């Protein structure tokens, strides 16, 4: 088990849980499998013990996660601000899951900063906001925040309370953030936890089917179009990317989650070490990068695209037209490759 769950911190957390009259679980905007998995995993675990707990997220999860147990219990700031705002204001304890800084929650940031509740950050991203956290559990070597939730439950000596509901959510978060256990963040510990959770009666094959075998026809057409018509390859830099305009997204009736995974397919091209995906949305271009080996996508995003993330998986943004965002990337690419020459070889 990771060493971040020290006995003094666990004792402090137990006290916060025992004294809390309202516990709110939050996560970052634009949710993914890990943010939903860790939130609902912790939610089911605490709810089973009778704790007064709710989940409040900034916005809705993509369609491929809507099957997850308890997802309808999540209250969304974008839909029901009149409910979320008083919940956060009245909370005694707020869990901040899968984000290292309150700015990652978008419009929820101000509510969190102004809340007098104790804040417990559990996360695996770099450079956590230590001043914001009452208790900080941060481990950048962990595969996912969902894995850290299992570690937390184990530190509380309550793994016997993990059931099909919480186990399904935690397992889903691990699967999505590890790329089905194939990314370098996957450790022996990750596999051990997955095995222990499977003993709780979860149906792993159904989880994988729900995640990866439930594509809409429009999504398949979008992916095919992206790879056939919008794929750009720079073999001399071992780099490839796809870019989609807002008009193209409207043509394929793109809904939240439809573009998930396209950047990973680009990275799967033989010989490619760095992959990118550019998506236009009302003067904001959302950017995702993935890489192999030690190529630092987090530095690429933080230095040039107002973002950050993990070594091999990061995101950023560009204010302006998508053509200009792509042009900027192509311009900086040679220097980035040269600065990380050893990693590209």
How would you list the strands of the sheet with 74-76, edge to edge?
74-76, 53-57, 23-27, 93-97, 118-123, 135-138
* CATH code of domain 217-344: 3.10.310.30
2: pLDDT strictly greater than 80: no
| Domain locations in the chain as residue ranges | 7-212, 217-344
87 near 56, Cβ under 8 Å? yes
30: pLDDT strictly greater than 70: yes
What contacts 252, CB < 8 A, 6 or more positions away?
218, 219, 221, 222, 225, 258
Task: Give me the CATH topology for the region 7-212.
Answer: inorganic pyrophosphatase (n-terminal core) (3.90.1640)
Token pair, residue 29, equals 């905007």
**For residue 52, what pLDDT band results from cuts at 50, 70 and 90?**
very high
Instruction: Measure the CA–CA gap between 313 and 264, rounded to whole angstroms.
Output: 10
Query: How many residues are there in the chain?
Result: 345
Task: Encode pLDDT of 141-185 as tens digits.
Answer: 999 999 999 999 999 999 999 999 999 999 999 999 999 998 889
Token pair, residue 329, equals 């990337």
Task: Encode pLDDT of 310-324 as tens digits.
Answer: 899 999 999 999 999
Please spell the DSSP secondary structure of 25-46, one letter per residue: EEE-SS--HHHHHHHHHHHHHH
Task: Encode pLDDT of 221-264 as tens digits.
Answer: 999 999 999 999 999 999 999 999 999 999 999 998 999 999 99
DSSP label of 279: E
Residue among 106, 103, 156, 110 nearest 125 (CA): 103
End-to-end CA distance of the chain: 34
What CA–CA distances, in Å, run from 167 to 180, 186, 268?
Answer: 16, 18, 30
């Amino acid at each position: 088990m990771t060493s971040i769950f020290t006995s003094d911190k666990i004792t402090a957390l137990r006290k916060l849980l025992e004294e809390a009259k309202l516990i709110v679980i939050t996560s970052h905007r634009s949710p993914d499998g890990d943010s939903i998995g860790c939130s609902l995993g912790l939610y089911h675990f605490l709810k089973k013990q009778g704790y007064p707990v709710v989940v409040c997220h900034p916005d809705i999860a993509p369609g491929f996660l809507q099957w997850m147990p308890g997802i309808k219990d999540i209250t969304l700031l974008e839909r029901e601000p009149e409910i979320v705002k008083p919940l956060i204001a009245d909370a005694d304890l707020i869990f901040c899951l899968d984000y290292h800084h309150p700015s990652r929650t978008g419009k929820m940031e101000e509510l969190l900063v102004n809340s007098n509740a104790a804040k417990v950050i559990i996360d695996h991203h770099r450079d956590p906001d230590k001043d914001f956290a009452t208790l900080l559990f941060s481990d950048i070597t962990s595969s996912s925040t969902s894995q850290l939730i299992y570690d937390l439950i184990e530190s509380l000596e309550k793994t016997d309370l993990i059931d099909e509901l919480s186990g399904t959510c935690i397992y889903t978060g691990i699967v999505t953030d590890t790329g089905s256990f194939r990314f370098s963040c996957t450790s022996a510990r990750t596999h051990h936890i997955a095995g222990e959770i499977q003993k709780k009666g979860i149906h792993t094959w159904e989880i994988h089917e729900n995640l990866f075998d439930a594509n809409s026809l429009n999504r398949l057409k979008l992916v095919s179009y992206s790879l056939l018509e919008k794929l750009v390859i720079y073999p001399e830099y071992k780099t490839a990317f796809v870019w989609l305009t807002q008009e193209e997204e409207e043509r394929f009736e793109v809904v939240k989650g439809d573009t998930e995974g396209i950047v990973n397919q680009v990275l799967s091209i033989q010989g490619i070490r760095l992959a990118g995906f550019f998506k236009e949305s009302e003067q904001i271009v959302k950017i995702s990068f993935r890489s192999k080996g030690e190529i630092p996508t987090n530095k690429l995003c933080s230095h040039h695209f107002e973002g950050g993330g993990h070594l091999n998986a990061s995101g950023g943004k560009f204010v302006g037209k998508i053509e200009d965002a792509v042009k900027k990337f192509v311009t900086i690419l040679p220097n980035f490759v040269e600065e990380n020459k050893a990693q590209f070889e």
